[in-house]
Amino acid sequence: MSKENELLEEVTGSDYQYGFYTDIESDKAPPGLNEEIIRFISAKKNEPEWMVEWRLEALRGFQKMTEPKWANVNYPEPDLQAISYYSAPKQQEGPESLDEVDPELLKTFDKLGISLDEQKRLTGVAMDVVVDSVSVKTTFKEKLGELGIIFCSISEALQDYPELVRQHIGTVVPRTDNYYAALNSAVFTDGSFCYIPKGVRCPMELSTYFRINEAGTGQFERTLVVAEEGSYVSYLEGCTAPMRDENQLHAAVVELKAMDNAEIKYSTVQNWYPGDKNGKGGVYNFVTKRGLCEKNAKISWTQVETGSAVTWKYPSCVLKGDNSVGEFYSVAVTNNFQQNDTGTKMIHLGKNTKSTIISKGICAGQSNGNYRGLVKIGPRATDSRNFSQCDSLLMGSSCGSHTFPYIETQNKSAQVEHEATTSKIGEDQIFYCNQRGIGEEEAIALIVNGYCKDILNQLPMEFAVEAQKLLEISLEGSVG
């Protein structure tokens, strides 16, 4: 037992490695949430008239709602009137090359090990980098343009392709779907838009790095990915945030639309500031992510979640079309005082639809990790199948892990399977590794990576390596 405690001490000793702050002048809205602010944001972004109305409608819906309380997490309710809903790095015009990008920003990326230069050269990944709400740099855009692929910030999309945005936005996650989705719909400042035309296979991984970078600003990202008939896209989203004392609210909405025979692979590595070892500070991450599958379409969500003080998210698939497929692969790590209520919803509506859920939770410190998942088989969803596997790995005896699987079937031909395990990293495993010359930290990294292998394998190579690093950083020195 004493060994366990010592080790736990060590866990809490590992500090957030991305805790730095870039000093960039910003163009900031006064705090508060009201119609005037919405109009201000919309005007700032030079949005079409319908968009202003759309936002205001969301705000009116939001104002009638209250924050839901059913998640198994505890936190002081954020004061939404104290948040500034718009902050943009000061910049005259969009830069054409890296030379024109604020050198402070580039330094920030260097610290994160994601310098654009390197990314461009080594990985061939097109990046739409979002720093505090406004897209600063988009690469490879021309190359994608040749294929008719649109990959830009949602603000640009509203300027250049307003009808396309109008046609799809809010069709998967309606404006008043839930409290935080409604808030996002009203105040979102930026995000990404991705459109893959019919029959096109996107030749590269599309990647976005998000950062929250201004003290006291919330960030409300809006992402919309549309894959037309028979197309394919793999989309990566990675996040790190600098260290902050006060809690920061992040309420994003991600909508995916996979038309007939299309496939979308959406991968996330989330490493926002989790708060310090006493549970002070950290990001509130309340995200709505949902995908809609038409006939024979497929959507895969893969996520590695190591950050944020409180996480509340359920990337879901609505399997509307016959034979469509939904997948959810997740690793969620909580340490110190982090709280996590995450999982997925697989809504089977079409015939012969299929879904797979693999969720791996890792809890250390005093943290609390929850899996919450819904598998719903509608009356028309004949011969539908689901397989769910939810594993938890505990380190020490002060953390908690819970699984809340919900299954609703309205069709007798459905097959739904659920498996769950809970295990502990044993001192035996650690000792075995030690005896082979492998120190404590390396041993934990090895064991945890082994446990998460099925998920990490789903990630594109360069992302998997980063995810592995993040797992190691967030669990440094921990075990029980």
Partner 1 sequence: MLKINNLHASVEGTEILRGVNLEVKPGEVHAIMGPNGSGKSTLSSVIAGREDYEITQGNIQFEKEDLLDLGPDERAQKGIFLSFQYPVEIPGVTVTNFLKTSINELRKARGEEPLPANKLLKKMREKMGLLDMDKSFLSRSLNEGFSGGEKKRNEIFQMAMLEPKLGILDETDSGLDIDALRVVAKGVNTLRTKDNAIILITHYQRLLDHIEPDYVHVLSQGKIVKSGNKELALELEEHGYDWLKEPAV
**Interacting residue ranges for partner 1, rule: CB under 8 A:** 3, 426-429, 431-440, 442, 446-447, 449-454
Give the residue with the Cβ less far from partner 1, 182 or 470: 470
* Cα 17 off chain centre by: 20
> Phi/psi at 453 (nearest 5 deg)?
-55, -45
With respect to partner 1, which residue has the nearer C-beta, 274 or 477? Answer: 477
Q: Which is nearer to partner 1, 97 or 435 (CB)?
A: 435
Closest to 257 measured CA to CA, from 324, 306, 207, 209: 324
Beta carbon nearer to partner 1, 225 or 471: 471
Instruction: Report d(CA 428, CA 30) in Å as an integer.
Output: 56
Across the chain, which distance is largest between two alpha carbons, in Å? 68
CA–CA separation, 223 vs 337, rounded Å? 29
CB atoms under 10 Å from CB of 222, counted, come to: 25
Least distance to partner 1 from the beta carbon of 425, Å?
10
Three-state DSSP class for 330?
Answer: strand
DSSP 82: G
Cβ distance to partner 1 smaller for residue 33 or 447:
447
Distance between CA atoms of residues 105 and 115, nearest Å:
10
Angle at 356 between CA 352 and CA 359, to 5 degrees: 160
Q: Judged by CB, which is closer to partner 1: 163, or 428?
A: 428
Q: CB 391 → partner 1: shortest distance, Å?
A: 10
Which of 35/454 has CB closer to partner 1? 454
Alpha helix ranges (H) inside 27-112 = 35-44, 49-63, 103-112
Q: Which is nearer to partner 1, 290 or 360 (by Cβ)? A: 360
Residue with tokens 């992302």: 463
* C-alpha distances out from residue 391 to 157, 303, 306, 394, Å: 40, 15, 16, 10
Count the neighbouring beta carbons within 10 Å of the beta carbon of residue 118. Answer: 12
Q: Where are the beta strands (DSSP E) in 315-384?
A: 316-319, 325-334, 339-348, 354-363, 368-377
> In sequence order, what DSSP letters do the residues of 249-295 get, joined into one string?
EE--EEEEEE-TT-EEEEEEEEE-----TTS---EEEEEEEEEEE-T
Is the Cβ of residue 264 or residue 452 nearer to partner 1 in the bound state?
A: 452
Residues 445 and 471: beta-carbon distance below 8 Å: yes
Q: How far is the CB of 7 from partner 1 (least distance, A)?
A: 11
Element (H, E) at 201: none
Beta carbon of residue 392, minimum distance to partner 1 (angstroms, whole number): 14
Q: How far is the CB of 12 from partner 1 (least distance, A)?
A: 20
Q: Which helix H or strand E contains 423, and what residues bound it?
A: strand 415-424
Q: Counting Cβ atoms within 10 Å, is residue 229 exposed (0-12), middle (13-18) or buried (19+)?
A: middle
76/437 with CB nearer partner 1: 437
Instruction: Quote the least distance from Cβ 315 to partner 1, whole Å.
Output: 23
- Nearest distance, CB of residue 364 and partner 1, angstroms: 18
Distance of closest approach, residue 448 Cβ to partner 1, in angstroms: 9
Least distance CB 427 / partner 1 (angstroms): 8
Q: Which is nearer to partner 1, 352 or 449 (CB)?
A: 449
- Report in angstroms how near the CB of residue 421 gets to partner 1 at its nearest: 10
Question: For residue 415, which amino acid is it?
Answer: Q
Report the nearest approach of partner 1 to the CB of residue 267 (Å): 19
